[in-house]
Structure 1
Amino acid sequence: MNNTNITKRNIIIFTIFSTLCGWIGYLVDKLTGQAHYENIGTMAGEEPLGMLIWLVSPLICTMVLRTFGGDGWKNAGFACNFKNNKILYLISFLVYPVVTIIVILLGVITKGIRFSNMSIGLTAYFGILFTQITIQFIKNIFEESVWRAYLTNQLLKLKLSDLKIYLLIGFIWWLWHLPYIMIFLSESEIQNILPVGRLAFFLIGTIVVTVWTVMYTEIFQITKSVWPLVIAHTMEDAVINPLLLLGIVSIEKNQAFLFSLSVGLIPTILYLIVGLSIRKWRTNPKFFYQSAKIGNRF
């Protein structure tokens, strides 16, 4: 079997396994009496065993495929490659906070967003933020090692078009989330993000995650490193989740489709602009190398 066929076979194995592992985790919770998710604290680290199975199993699968399935560990995406990619590391760190600030400002101006629990204070919020950065960084090492260092890396070997890569990664990545959306995530958490049912939330999320995939894939293609994406994903979780879960920011329900910090139309468009701009950077060698030289001066 040649390398291309091995890659295709292993992607299929990975896709099937990753889409099943969450349901296996739910079954474990049912059998052990842990399947009560409404009171699970998203930021408190109180996840039941099923959620841990859902989170960790795809990484175990990739390790098995790399070690025994012929994928190997060469150029697996774990090198930092920081020296020539300072700008992209900075973008990864800032993109979610900056877009969130822009959306909040637009929302406040148009009365689509209001501050409803400022009594918690900025000091408390930043304390929670820094705690979340640590927790989410560790969690996202697991997640990005799977979706960027493995799946994106393997699909790039097949020389597919950019659009096919975006769609495949976005669909498989979000399909992995299906048991999380339909079972693990509480109804109140969904309503805090968008006032829709679970299935509608999943379908909307498919579009949003595919848009995010453009940005994530382009950063990975240039840096050949998983670490900027770990940073970006960490900032997304750490910055946005406390604002919503602590009630500091409240989105008016009739404008949530525009201003929802995670899945709203406005932030989604902004993330798509960022992703396509990075793609332009990658596909325009002259612009890319000039920018890289500027970054190396700092």
Structure 2
Amino acid sequence: MNDVKKIRRNILIFAIFCTICGWIGYLIDLSANRAHYENIGTNIDEGGSLGLILWLISPMICTIILRTFGGDGWKNAGFAPNLKDNKMMYLISFLIYPTVTLTVVILGTMTGGIRFLNANITIKTYIGILFVQIATQFIKNIFEESVWRAYLTNQLLKLKLSDLKIYLLVGFIWWIWHLPYIMIFLSESEIYNVLPVGRGTFFLIGFIVVTCWSVMYTEIFRITKTLWPLVIAHTMEDAVINPLLLMGILSVEKSQAIFFSLSVGIVPTILYLTVGLTIRRWRKKQEQSQVAKL
């Protein structure tokens, strides 16, 4: 089997495996009399189910199997930091989510779409929680980005597909993995707190959002050839946004959540897509410059 056929086969196995494991997790929970998912929540430390844990770790399990036994190997797997020539991209990765979130909060506050609720929480308290979040989310995102960027994106790039196909495939496989999470594990109240829509609508909106994010994540990986800037970016997303909402520091008005939801709103999604396309333009110029030197 040639390399292209092997890569295509393994990507298909990866996509199917990750999708099926979520539903297997659901059946495991059913057999354990845990069908009432409104009581499960999304935090494993607070009693997440065995099925939810299986869903979370299934991409990592599949990646290890395919790298070890499926012929993908561990060489050039995206774990080297490549810091020397990518310091600027590391800095950009660190700043993307805080900058976009601050921009959305300012715009939302100006239009009445976002309100500050808890004035008793000081900046010092928020920064303290932010650092705790960074420490914990960093570990979690090593596992995530070693799958979605260091493996999936890395393998798709080897197929020499067009940029658009790569963005769509990464976004589709990344989000289809979320299907059992959205449709079963996530409670309706948790969905409503993010966006006041039904599960199906939320899933479709989420696919658009994740595909736009994939432009940014894919382009950073293409330039740096390492997962670590993406681990940093993903960590900052979780660490900056989660405390603002979970601690009740601010609230997004339901009538304007489609625009200003910090996770899936139109405004932040457009900003993230703009960042991704700007980085893509930067990459293209670098490639043209390298060709001109030859």
* TM superposition score category, shorter chain reference: over 0.9
| Contact 2:141–2:235 (8 Å) recurs in 1 | yes
Instruction: Report the Cα offset of residue 125 of structure 1.
Output: 2.6
- Counterpart for residue 15 of structure 1: 15
Evaluate the alpha carbon distance shift between residue 288 and residue 159 of structure 1 in structure 2; reply closer, same or farther with a 3 A threshold: same
What letter matches 2:33 in structure 1? Answer: G
Evaluate the alpha carbon distance shift between residue 26 and residue 43 of structure 1 in structure 2; reply closer, same or farther with a 3 A threshold: closer
Q: Deviations over 1:77-111 (max 9, x none)?
A: 01100111011111111101110000000111111
- Counterpart for residue 106 of structure 2: 105
Bigger shift: residues 265-274 or 123-132: 123-132
- Counterpart for residue 274 of structure 1: 275
- Counterpart for residue 186 of structure 2: 185
| Contact 1:141–1:230 (8 Å) recurs in 2 | yes
What letter matches 1:139 in structure 2? Answer: K
| Contact 2:41–2:187 (8 Å) recurs in 1 | no
- Tell me the C-alpha RMSD between the 2 structures: 1.7
Evaluate the alpha carbon distance shift between residue 276 and residue 71 of structure 1 in structure 2; reply closer, same or farther with a 3 A threshold: same
- Counterpart for residue 76 of structure 1: 77
- Counterpart for residue 227 of structure 1: 228
Q: Deviations over 1:57-78 (max 9, x none)?
A: 1111111111111111110001
- Counterpart for residue 162 of structure 2: 161
Instruction: Report the Cα offset of residue 208 of structure 1.
Output: 0.3
Paired residue secondary structure (2:115):
strand
Paired residue secondary structure (2:122):
helix
- Counterpart for residue 29 of structure 2: 29
Equivalent residues in 2 for 1:245-284 (5 A)?
A: 245-284=246-285
| Contact 2:100–2:268 (8 Å) recurs in 1 | yes
Instruction: Report the Cα offset of residue 286 of structure 1.
Output: 7.4
- Counterpart for residue 217 of structure 1: 218
Q: Deviations over 1:181-202 (max 9, x none)?
A: 1112222221121111111111
2:96 paired with 1:95: yes
Instruction: Report the Cα offset of residue 234 of structure 1.
Output: 1.0
Q: Deviations over 1:259-288 (max 9, x none)?
A: 110111110110011000000010002798
Give the aligned length.
Answer: 289
Paired residue secondary structure (1:5):
helix
Evaluate the alpha carbon distance shift between residue 48 and residue 123 of structure 1 in structure 2; reply closer, same or farther with a 3 A threshold: farther
Give TM-score, length-normalised by structure 2: 0.93
| Contact 1:55–1:143 (8 Å) recurs in 2 | no
Q: Distance in 2 between matches of 1:34 and 1:221?
A: 42
Instruction: Report the Cα offset of residue 121 of structure 1.
Output: 3.3
What letter matches 1:240 in structure 2? Answer: I
Q: Deviations over 1:198-239 (max 9, x none)?
A: 111110000000000000000000100011111111111111
Give TM-score, length-normalised by structure 1: 0.92
Evaluate the alpha carbon distance shift between residue 146 and residue 44 of structure 1 in structure 2; reply closer, same or farther with a 3 A threshold: closer
Paired residue secondary structure (1:120):
coil
Share of identical aligned residues, percent? 71
- Counterpart for residue 238 of structure 1: 239
Structure 1 spans left out of the alignment, 5+ residues: 290-298
| Contact 1:192–1:244 (8 Å) recurs in 2 | no
Bigger shift: residues 39-48 or 112-121: 39-48
Instruction: Report the Cα offset of residue 11 of structure 1.
Output: 0.6
| Contact 1:211–1:271 (8 Å) recurs in 2 | yes
Instruction: Report the Cα offset of residue 132 of structure 1.
Output: 1.7
